[in-house]
Structure 1
Amino acid sequence: MNTTTLTGLELRPLAVPADVSELETPAGHDFATMMDVRNRVYFEISGHHDESMSAAELLPHYQPNPDEIRFMWVAILDGEFVGRAGIDIPLEEGSKTAFWQIELLRKSWGKGVGSAAYELLENKAREHGRTVLQSWASHPAADGVEQIEPPTGFGSIPDDHAAHFYKRHGYSLEQVERNSAFDLRGSFEIVERLLAEATAAAEGYRVVQWEPPTAEEYVAGYAWMKSRMSTDAPSADLEFDEEVWDAERIARHDALWTDAHQFVLVTAAQHIATGELCAFNELVVGKDRAEASHQEDTLVLKEHRGHKLGMLVKCAGLVKWRELVPHSPRVLTYNAEENRPMLDINEAIGFTPIAYGGAWKKVLE
């Protein structure tokens, strides 16, 4: 699957080691090098290492998965690794979507590497009958650069190098995403006050928390809430398949974190009368507990909104998190700019914007 459209370029299919013991062997060379380049790309974009991951932490995410097919290539220009390109093909019945990424070191920009990689990705999508291609990219603030707004009317991004690439290949900006951070080292007075207020407002509900693997009593409810992430979260004109989650998928999801020795806390709101789980929040940190933490999914089921459950699970999670992971300096989270209810919660807690990203879409003819 190599391309020859650019002299000196090799797009080599990524060899994925079966386990971490192979990472320091010749068989794991490409994967380990790919991770190093990935982290360097993210640092070039953000100027910090909060998005960095070790090869061991990311390896479980590249193992065979019955929910999707993942194709990945490393970009090698004149003998040097300069980036990676990948595409995920969801396997939900009737799916017509594919999700892709191209990440390149800046020194390789403007040499045709990205376009050669994109040609490969679009061809792979067509081979699998996919007609809706979607991708996300960070767009760092840039003074004096014209801004682009999505059709939602919420947020904007600079018309930068990445935006030019997407537009040149027929993509439209559909949504702007905000990256926010919360300082775990500061005062928790506001968080504790908001937690008390949310607890009072959420009469008839209680907080339950667990660390994976998920206890049997919570599996069915957790699976249902995870399935709603694909339908209930604000998505502008982006397209997502309705996902089916069951006990096996929850077990696979949990293993992605535990197999990499990452630490996860799930905080949920439970309706006392029925035992139904109706809101949840996930926090995760890498094997190094002194790294930045990440807030993964957060959702309140539609039929339970209006009881401050979003505030409840977020604040309860942060209070417990500081106790469990005292050396992590901050929590990062991502939200659609039009998701005003969740942004209101984040802003009240003390999350502050640090970066913005664009969600791009193309429909193939």
Structure 2
Amino acid sequence: MHAAAKVDCPEILLPTPRSLANGLRYGWDLNPGRAYLARDEDGAPVGLLEASIPTYDNTNLVWAFGTVHPDRRGRGTGSELIAYAERLTAELGRNSIGLSTFDLPAADAFARQHGFERKSVDVNRRQDVAGLDWSVVQKLYDDAVAASSAYELIRITGALPDELLDGMVAVTASINDAPKDDLDVEDDEYSPERLRAYEEAQLKSERTLHRVIAREKATGELAGHTTITVERERPHIGEQNDTAVARAHRGHRLGALVKSAMLLWMRDQEPQLAQLDTWNAESNNHMISINEQLNYRVITRIPDYQKSL
């Protein structure tokens, strides 16, 4: 992975051996994927296939990401990895395979050569938290507070209290309104059990989970949230896991409110936090506009391809 990243995307955030192992044990929400290491005849590692196999929803789909060592490219290793992913998909009784690649001409040509169609583009952005102009964050927060006077904020580290769990299921499901572009995928399905599984997976993966939730004062209804996780092995690194606002509560700048409130909170709660990564569909203009106000910069674009079997 490190050898390939030096060539394909030097700034991409890579796992450590420890965090990679945790990912294979626990995944995002106790639904871990699989990884297959390809070796040559001498036993040297030449390629890696990572496969995500959804179980909560989209159970007809396998999503793949293949990596070939730069010294072994052009020898058919990538084609063997894709063939293996297609066999795995068929063996699991699934009929659709997705493929993510770096946004490189050779990767695009490879995907199309193997019958995949480009369906969407994800963009990885990174915020230099250590170099933030906090006056900009404070102004964004103050302006959002003025536009959202009917709401209050709840800050939670770790597991949700039981009384907020059902409300958070509904808010989390609001992420389904984010653009899917041309991807042939179902909406994500959420339940109290899945949210608890997400919390457990983050804890077991040695990440601290922080949430900022917007709640309507008059009704007590949860309206929006943002979550980040901070690695304990590398506590200067955080990842934005989710930001969503329920449809009935949009138009009050709640997205800007929870994201700016999170940063101001983290300045005190996680003072060592230096970088924060986030992912959005390239077409998600609303969330991207908030990120740009908060000085995120583009690290890479990841096209998503799909193929029916």
Structure-1-length-normalised TM-score: 0.77
Indicate the residue corresponding to 2:5 in structure 1. 42
Gapped runs of 5+ residues in structure 2?
none
Indicate the residue corresponding to 2:262 in structure 1. 317
Indicate the residue corresponding to 1:53 in structure 2. 15
How far has the Cα of 1:133 moved from its partner? 1.6
- 1:304 and 1:84 map into 2 onto residues whose CA distance is 43
User: Which of 279, 300, 312 lines up with 2:245 in the alignment?
Assistant: 300
CA contact (8 A) 2:226 2:244 kept: yes
How far has the Cα of 1:53 moved from its partner? 2.0
- 1:84 and 1:101 map into 2 onto residues whose CA distance is 8
Indicate the residue corresponding to 1:270 in structure 2. 215
2:106 is the counterpart of 1:106: no
The one-letter amino acid paired with 1:317 is M
Superposed CA offset, 1:273-310 (max 9, x none): 22222211111221234433211111112221111011
2:97 is the counterpart of 1:133: yes
Indicate the residue corresponding to 1:86 in structure 2. 50
2:17 is the counterpart of 1:70: no
Gapped runs of 5+ residues in structure 1?
1-37, 140-157
The secondary structure found in structure 2 opposite 1:312 is helix
The secondary structure found in structure 1 opposite 2:23 is helix
Shift in CA distance, 62/136, structure 1 to aligned 2, threshold 3 Å: same
How far has the Cα of 1:68 moved from its partner? 5.0
Indicate the residue corresponding to 2:126 in structure 1. 181
What do you get for the CA RMSD once the two structures are aligned?
2.2
Superposed CA offset, 1:238-271 (max 9, x none): 1333333223222211121111221221111112
CA contact (8 A) 1:67 1:91 kept: no
How far has the Cα of 1:214 moved from its partner? 2.0
Shift in CA distance, 267/239, structure 1 to aligned 2, threshold 3 Å: farther
The secondary structure found in structure 2 opposite 1:243 is coil
How far has the Cα of 1:64 moved from its partner? 7.0
- 2:248 and 2:276 map into 1 onto residues whose CA distance is 28
Q: How does 1:214-233 map to 2 (within 5 A)?
A: 214-229=160-175, 231-233=176-178
- 2:4 and 2:209 map into 1 onto residues whose CA distance is 26
CA contact (8 A) 1:58 1:260 kept: no
Q: How does 1:201-216 map to 2 (within 5 A)?
A: 201-216=147-162
The secondary structure found in structure 2 opposite 1:90 is coil
CA contact (8 A) 1:98 1:130 kept: yes
2:256 is the counterpart of 1:256: no
- 1:162 and 1:55 map into 2 onto residues whose CA distance is 26
The secondary structure found in structure 2 opposite 1:319 is helix
Shift in CA distance, 55/218, structure 1 to aligned 2, threshold 3 Å: farther
Number of residue equivalences: 306
The secondary structure found in structure 1 opposite 2:130 is coil
The one-letter amino acid paired with 1:114 is G
Shift in CA distance, 220/43, structure 1 to aligned 2, threshold 3 Å: farther
Superposed CA offset, 1:135-186 (max 9, x none): 22222xxxxxxxxxxxxxxxxxx5x221111111111111222222222122
- 1:259 and 1:68 map into 2 onto residues whose CA distance is 13
The one-letter amino acid paired with 1:322 is R
The secondary structure found in structure 1 opposite 2:169 is helix
- 2:295 and 2:38 map into 1 onto residues whose CA distance is 40
Shift in CA distance, 249/356, structure 1 to aligned 2, threshold 3 Å: same
Indicate the residue corresponding to 1:195 in structure 2. 141
The secondary structure found in structure 1 opposite 2:153 is strand
Structure-2-length-normalised TM-score: 0.90
Indicate the residue corresponding to 1:20 in structure 2. none
- 1:215 and 1:104 map into 2 onto residues whose CA distance is 44
The secondary structure found in structure 1 opposite 2:149 is coil
- 2:26 and 2:290 map into 1 onto residues whose CA distance is 37
CA contact (8 A) 2:155 2:212 kept: yes
- 2:47 and 2:225 map into 1 onto residues whose CA distance is 35
Shift in CA distance, 288/69, structure 1 to aligned 2, threshold 3 Å: closer
The one-letter amino acid paired with 1:171 is F
Indicate the residue corresponding to 1:355 in structure 2. 300
2:117 is the counterpart of 1:172: yes
Runs of 4 or more consecutive aligned structure 1 residues displaced over 6 Å after TM superposition: 64-67
Greater alpha carbon shift after TM alignment, 87-96 vs 254-263: 87-96
CA contact (8 A) 1:67 1:92 kept: no
Considering Cα pairs closer than 8 Å and 6+ residues apart, tell me whether 1 or 2 has the greater RCO: 2
- 1:69 and 1:182 map into 2 onto residues whose CA distance is 27
